[in-house]
Amino acid sequence: MPTPLFIAQIGLTLFVFVMLLSSAAGMVYVERKVAALLQQRIGPYLVGPKGLLQPLADIIKLMFKEELRPSAADAFLFALAPIISATCAFAAFAVVPFGGDTTLLGLIPGGLRLQVADVNVAILVVFAIASMSVYGIVLAGWSSNSKYSLLGGLRSSAQMISYELSYGLALAGVLLVGNSLSLTDIVNRQAGTWLGFIPHWFVVVQPIGFLIYMTAGIAETNRAPFDFPEAEQELVAGYHTEYSSMSFAMFFLAEYVNMVTVSAVATDLFLGGWHGPFLSESIGWIWFLLKVAAILFFYVWMRWTLPRYRYDQLMRFGWKILLPLAVVNLLVTAAGVLYFGS
C-alpha cells in the first residue's frame, strides 16, 4: 500500500511535466499576442475566444505535417538530437522548488514540498543540465548534413560555451550570499524585509549578478537579441533548418521550456521565490507564478524591441564585457561576505 506522500510525489512529478508542456503552449500564445501589441496589430483572434485556441491549432498543424529527413543525414543522430534538447529542457526543472510545504487541504500528513527532487547541489544540477543541452543543438546541426544547419549548430555551441561562464559566475555570487547550494535554502534565506518594506531578495544585494544572469540566460536559451543559431537572414533557420513536423516541434518546445526554467531559477535565486507580502507561505506559489510570468513577459518584450546583435559583437560582449564584469562581481561579493558576514 503506497503512502499518500508517495502518491503525492508521483502526482507532483506528472503535474510539473504537464504544467511545463502547457506553459510552452501558453507562451506561444503570449508571444504572438505581445508581438502584436508591440507592433500595433491584433494578433491571433480567429481560433477560439480571443484566439486562445491558436496554440492548439498550431500543434495539430505540426502533428499532421510530413516528417522529412535529408537523404544524406545521419538517421540515428538526426532523430536523437531533438530528444536530447527536449529532455534537457524538462530535466532542469526537476530541482527547481516552486512553493513552500503544502498539506493539500490536510490530505498529506507531514506536508509535501513543492519541488520534484530536493537535491542539496541543486544550483550545480541546473548548471550541469544547461551545459548538456548544447548537445541537442550541435548534433542537430551536424547530423542534418546541411551547411546552414552546421553553421547554426557551431555558432550556437560557441555562443553557449561563451555565455555559460558568465552564467556560472553569476550563480556563484548568489551561492556566496545564500551560503548554500540548495535552491530551497536560498529561497528561505530571502524571507522577510529590511526596514519593513524592502524585501529581503538577493536582487537587492546582487543587482549586477541579476543583470548578468538574465543576459547570459537569454543567450543560453538562444532568444533575441542573441538568437544567432537561427538568424534567419543568414542561416535560413539555423540548426533546425532540415527539421519538420514533430521533431521541429520538440526543438520549439525545448526553447520555451528552457525559458520557463531560466525564469523560474531567476525567481528562486534573485526574486525571493515564493516569498512575498499579503500571501501566507502555503499559497506562496501564487507569488512564484506571478514573478515567473513577469520575467517571461520581459523575455518576449526584449525579443520584439531589440534588434539582433552582429556575431562579432556578441562574442566581444560576452568575453570582454560580461565575463570580466561577472568576475569583478564575484570578487566584490566574496569580499563583502567576508567583511559583513552572510
Partner 1 sequence: MTPFYLFAAIAVGASLLVIAQRNPVYSVLLLIASFGALSGLYVLLDAPFVAVIQIIVYAGAIMVLFLFVVMLLNAPHEETPYDEQVHPLMRPGPMRLGAVLALGLVVELIWALEKGAESGRFAGGAVSNVGAIGRLLFTEYAFAFEVTSILIIVAMVGAVVLARREGAR
Alpha helices of 93-146 — where are they, by DSSP H?
Answer: 122-132, 134-143
Q: Is 132 in the site for partner 1 (CB under 8 A)?
A: yes
Site for partner 1 in 3-22 (CB under 8 A): none
Which residue in 93, 127, 201, 239 binds partner 1 (CB under 8 A)? 127
Residues in the interface with partner 1 (CB under 8 A) total 22
Which residue in 14, 38, 128, 306 binds partner 1 (CB under 8 A)? 128
Q: Is 293 in the site for partner 1 (CB under 8 A)?
A: no
Q: Is 131 in the site for partner 1 (CB under 8 A)?
A: yes
Rounded to whole angstroms, the Cα distance separating 156 from 222 reads 8
- Closer to partner 1 by CB, 63 or 117: give it: 117
- 42 Cβ contact list (under 8 Å, min separation 6): 36
- Closer to partner 1 by CB, 8 or 216: give it: 216
- Closer to partner 1 by CB, 54 or 146: give it: 146
What nine digits make up the cell of 302? 526584449
What nine digits make up the cell of 25? 503552449
Chain centre distance of CA 16: 14
How many CB atoms neighbour CB 30 within 10 A? 18
Give the per-residue contact string, 154-183, with partner 1 (x = CB under 8 A; - = no).
x--x---x-------------------x--
CA distances from 277 to 107, 203, 280, 287 (A): 27, 16, 8, 9
Shortest distance, position 119 Cβ to partner 1, whole Å: 7
Rounded to whole angstroms, the Cα distance separating 119 from 97 reads 10
Give the per-residue contact string, 59-78, with partner 1 (x = CB under 8 A; - = no).
---------------x--x-
- Please count the helices (runs of H) and the strands (runs of E) in the chain: 14, 4
- Closer to partner 1 by CB, 143 or 215: give it: 143
Which residue in 124, 204, 279, 334 binds partner 1 (CB under 8 A)? 124
- 105 Cβ contact list (under 8 Å, min separation 6): none
- 255 Cβ contact list (under 8 Å, min separation 6): 89, 221, 222, 223
Residue 306 is given by DSSP the state: S
Site for partner 1 in 134-153 (CB under 8 A): 134-135, 138-139, 142, 150, 153
Interaction site with partner 1 (CB under 8 A): 74, 77, 119-121, 124-125, 127-128, 131-132, 134-135, 138-139, 142, 150, 153-154, 157, 161, 181
